[in-house]
């Protein structure tokens, strides 16, 4: 992929992340589309306004669903 195409792809992904961070599914896409692209689902990102006016977008850690059913010895 050429440098211009890589740049365009990065910008497109960033636009998708910005939309997803608002909790909205990007128009024309499904959850399966996002999984195939390696992008998070709506609700998996949070926006944190910073004091300098910028917005930090972070991915929420998945909830651990592991439960040990082995008795303690």
9-61, pLDDT tens digit by residue?
A: 999 999 999 999 999 999 999 999 999 999 999 989 999 999 999 999 998 87
Radius of gyration of the chain (CA): 17
With 70 as the cut, is the pLDDT of residue 66 above it?
no
Closest alpha carbon to 12 in 39, 52, 41, 31? 39
- Strand, helix or coil for residue 15: helix
With 80 as the cut, is the pLDDT of residue 62 above it?
no
Of the pLDDT bands very low, low, confident and very high (cuts 50, 70, 90), residue 67 is low
pLDDT in the model for residue 20? 94
Tokens 């926006």 sit on residue: 47
CB atoms within 10 A of CB 20: 21
């Amino acid at each position: 992929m050429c440098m211009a195409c890589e740049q365009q792809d990065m910008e497109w992904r960033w636009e998708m992340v910005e939309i997803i961070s608002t909790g909205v599914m990007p128009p024309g896409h499904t959850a399966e589309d996002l999984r195939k692209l390696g992008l998070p689902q709506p609700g998996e990102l949070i926006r944190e306004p910073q004091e300098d006016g910028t917005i930090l977008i972070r991915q929420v850690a998945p909830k651990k669903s592991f439960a040990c059913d082995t008795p303690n010895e």
